[in-house]
Homo-oligomer: A and B are copies of this chain.
Amino acid sequence: MSEPLKLHHVGIVVQELEEAIERYCLLGLKETERGIVEKFDVAVSMIPAGNVKLELMQPLGEGNVQKFLEKRGEGLHHLAFEVKNIEATLAALKSQGVQLIDEVPRPGFGGHRVAFLHPMSFSGLLVELVEAED
């Protein structure tokens, strides 16, 4: 990849959205969007912090986010980077030996197509790609 990817959002797992949003208010941060992402079984609150958003995720069922919460507790979960063409990016990364969690994009928050890359390929960092316009 020649152009550096831009950070789109930081994913954070919380036990209870309302309580977390109230805490983040102390930093002057305010929720601008709320929704449910069925594919990931989470309720999501988007909180801008400058040019990047914080994506608070409260698990609603027995999905991976709930497993993360049980194993590691609340806290930072993933970094999401913006890409223009998610299929092309996935193909390019795969050809360079990156291990993909999602071979095919799936629907994420706000109607964006997203795909996760395996943390083993990025020194422990769980990376999400988000197809988004500038």
Contact = CB atoms under 8 A, between A and B. Distances in A.
Interface stretch (A33-41, A45-53, A59-67, A106-114): A45-53
A44 B18 CA distance: 35
A19 B122 CA distance: 9
Interface in A4-44: 4-7, 10, 12-16, 19-20, 23-24, 26-30
A126 B74 CA distance: 10
Contacts of A12: 123-125
Contacts of A26: 1, 93, 96, 98, 121-122
Interface of A: 1-7, 10, 12-16, 19-20, 23-24, 26-30, 48-52, 54, 72-79, 81-82, 93, 96, 98, 119, 121-127
